[in-house]
Structures are given as C-alpha cells and as structure tokens.
Amino acid sequence: MALTETAALPVAPAARRARLNAFSSVGLGAAGLLAFLLIWQAVPSLSLVNPMMLPGPLAIPAAFQSELASGMWLTAVTGSLSHYTLGLVVGSALGIALGVLTGMSRVAEDLTSWVVRVLRPIPGLAWAPFAIIWFGVTPSAAVFIITISVFWIVFFAAHGAVRAVDRDLLEVADAFGFRAAHEKLFKIYLPAAMPGILVGLRTALGQAWMAVVAAEIFGVPGLGHRMIEASALLATDIVIVYMLTMAALYGLLDSLFLLLQNWLLRWKA
C-alpha cells in the first residue's frame, strides 16, 4: 500500500499542473479577445475612425438582427453553403483520385507532370472569366472556381502522402499476395496515406471559404455577394456581420472535421 501511494504522489501534482495550464491558456485567450473587442470599440467611440467606416462591436448585434429578420442572412448562408459544399466535394474527390493515381504510378506522374506545372500557378480566381463565359453568373460558376481552388491543395497532399508510404509495407503486401493495384490501394496505400490526405482536406476547408467570396463577388447569390451589396451602401456593420458569419461557419466545420479525422484515425491512438 505504501509503495502504491508513493508512486501515485508525483501523478497528482502533474495532473494539477496540466489543469492549471489548461485554465491559464483559456484565461489568456479570453483576456486577449476581450482586449481586442475593447480596443475595437474604443476606436470609433473616440472618433479615431469614422463609425460609418468601422462600426464598433456593440453595433453588430442590431445589424445581425436586422439581416436575420429580413431573411437575407439565411438566404445568403444557404446559398454559400451549397456552393462551398459542392465545390469542396468535387475538388477534393478529383484531387484525391488524381493525387493517388500519380502517387502510385510513375507513368501517370510523368504523363501529367508538365500539365501540372503549367496549370498549378494559375489561381482559382483567374478562371472567373471562363467560369462566367461557360456557366454564366450562376451557382455553377461559383462551384467551378471553388473546385479549382480546392483541387490543387488536395491533389498535392494526396500525391505526397502516397509517395511517402513506406516501401517496406509494399514488400510485405507482395509477400502476402497483395499484388494487384486495387488490393495495394485499399490494403496499403489509402490506410498509410490517410493522415496526409486528411491534412490536405483540412487545409482545403479554409481555402474553399476564401474562394467562396471571390466566386460570389460577380453576382452569384451568397455571403460574398451580400457583402459587396452592403459595402456599396457603406453598411459596414452588415459587412462585418457576414465576415463574422463566415468565421463562425468555418470554425464549426473545422471542429466537425477534426471529430471525423479523429474517428478515421482512431487506430493510431
């Protein structure tokens, strides 16, 4: 009993220190946020900046309530989420498929290498003229731009993750009779490359949100278009409402993705 109690003694202070560190981190984060909000409110209140150019945080709830009551907020959020989701899914699926293919096959990598070098530096927004010509000012044009923005991130993540698979695993697969490409894909490549692919997908979640605004400023209904409309009227409080809306939606989606990632990688725990 004495030995058990003695061995347990160092654990308790360590656990307390961990809890104190966690509380300290939360407290410092809350203090930093409060300081930011106070400074933000002070700038227009002290007339350092015209309140019409930068409204304080106290003006935001009323603006949000107005947008919510008019139905514009829900319409904009619904529109952007549909563009975002479809563009993210299509871009990610294409990126994973081509990334895994070129990662597994040297022939496929060599065949696409120069095409990738030519197209990769072109940002998604640069495709906007073609998106409008091909699809018009429609949700399909926004989805097209978001898809391209997401594709390259996921493609390189998947390609790199597959290329990094331990060669010893492939030799073990051959030894156990998994010689067909589809067998190696599902038994070796995808499980081993999944952590790297998920990192790329998480990065794509944020990139897709940035592409949403760029894709909607040309008139496609959504958060970006509503922000442009509000800015044209100098309704900067409404602009901030939609900026914070995008931040909140991204934070929610990122948290949900982390839960999914932890579930998919539960075998690593």
Task: State which residues form the domain around 234.
Answer: 59-268
User: Residues 23-67: pLDDT tens digits?
Assistant: 777 788 888 889 998 998 898 888 888 888 889 899 999 999 999
Q: What is the pLDDT of residue 180?
A: 74
Cα(257)–Cα(250) distance, integer angstroms? 10
Percent of the chain with pLDDT over 90: 47
Q: What is the pLDDT of residue 66?
A: 93
How many folded domains does the chain comprise? Answer: 2
User: Residues 132-176: pLDDT tens digits?
Assistant: 899 988 899 999 999 999 999 999 999 999 988 887 776 776 666
Cα(141)–Cα(138) distance, integer angstroms? 5
Residue 51 included in any domain: no
Confidence of residue 179 (pLDDT cuts 50, 70, 90): low
- Is residue 22 located within the same domain as residue 65? no
- Is residue 17 located within the same domain as residue 116? no
Q: What is the pLDDT of residue 54?
A: 87
Enter the pTM of the model. Answer: 0.81
Q: Is the pLDDT of residue 17 over 80?
A: no
* Four-point Cα dihedral 253, 258, 259, 262, nearest 10: 160
Q: What is the pLDDT of residue 213?
A: 83
- Is residue 123 located within the same domain as residue 152? yes
Q: What is the pLDDT of residue 6?
A: 47
Give the end-to-end CA distance of the chain in Å, rounded to a whole number.
Answer: 32
Confidence of residue 177 (pLDDT cuts 50, 70, 90): low
- Is residue 8 located within the same domain as residue 106? no
- Is residue 103 located within the same domain as residue 221? yes
Q: What is the pLDDT of residue 9?
A: 47
Q: What is the pLDDT of residue 137?
A: 87
Q: Which of 242, 151, 254 is nearest to 205 (CA)?
A: 254
User: Residues 63-104: pLDDT tens digits?
Assistant: 999 999 999 999 999 999 999 999 999 999 999 999 999 988
- Is residue 130 located within the same domain as residue 255? yes
Q: Is the pLDDT of residue 202 over 60?
A: yes
Residue 50 included in any domain: no
- Is residue 37 located within the same domain as residue 151? no
- What CATH code is carried by the domain that includes residue 228? 1.10.3720.10
Cα(54)–Cα(132) distance, integer angstroms? 33
- Is residue 11 located within the same domain as residue 92? no
Cα(94)–Cα(106) distance, integer angstroms? 19
